[in-house]
């Protein structure tokens, strides 16, 4: 529905979860800082949501310019991936995600790496399938 207004339903949000498009680590390390709009486009969220998550989670510490623009480092983007995984994919509440991050930091890092690797593998297989269908 092109004219639909308001919040997306949970079903619509779940459908878009696989569509996040975060560059590989090699690509991310080409620049020191990324703008909030660039990072938001990778996660397919509004910039206001990233600002909200910054206020809620202590692990998010983007650098701010004198003008107030947020600049995200690779470390911040990795932390955003953790938060996104907990809130959007695993359906944690904000408070639950905070508690989980405090108590299971090492475990969640491993899980995030696994999810990212499997996502890249899925992307590769889909590209391979589309090239075979031609």
Does any domain span residue 104? yes
Does any domain span residue 59? yes
| Total number of domains in the chain | 1
Residue segments in the chain with a per-residue pLDDT below the cut of 70: 1-4, 6-19, 105-106, 108-109, 112
pLDDT at 15: 54
pLDDT at 23: 80
Instruction: Name the CA dihedral angle for 124, 130, 132, 134, rounded to a multiple of 10 degrees.
Output: -150
Does any domain span residue 3? no
Handedness of CA 84, 89, 90, 95 (dihedral sign): positive
Determine the Cα–Cα distance for residues 102 and 67; give it in Å rounded to an integer: 32
Over the stretch 57-69, which tens digit does the pLDDT of each residue have?
998 999 999 999 9
Range of the domain at 58: 10-133
Mean pLDDT of the chain: 83
pLDDT at 121: 85
pLDDT at 17: 52
Give the position of tokens 């207004």: 5
Does any domain span residue 5? no
pLDDT at 14: 55
DSSP conformation class of 73: -
pLDDT at 6: 67
SS3 4: coil
**116: CATH:** 1.10.1660.10
Does any domain span residue 4? no
């Amino acid at each position: 529905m092109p004219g639909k207004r308001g919040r997306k339903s949970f079903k619509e949000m779940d459908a878009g979860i696989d569509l996040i498009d975060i560059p590989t680590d090699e690509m991310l390390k080409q620049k020191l800082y990324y703008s909030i709009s660039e990072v938001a486009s990778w996660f397919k969220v509004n910039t206001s949501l990233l600002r909200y998550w910054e206020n809620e989670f202590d692990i998010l510490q983007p650098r701010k310019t004198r003008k107030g623009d947020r600049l995200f480092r690779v470390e911040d983007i990795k932390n955003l991936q953790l938060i996104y995984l907990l809130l959007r994919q695993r359906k944690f509440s904000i408070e639950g995600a905070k508690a989980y991050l405090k108590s299971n930091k090492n475990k969640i890092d491993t899980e995030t790496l696994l999810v990212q690797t499997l996502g890249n593998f899925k992307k590769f297989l889909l590209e391979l399938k589309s090239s075979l269908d031609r």
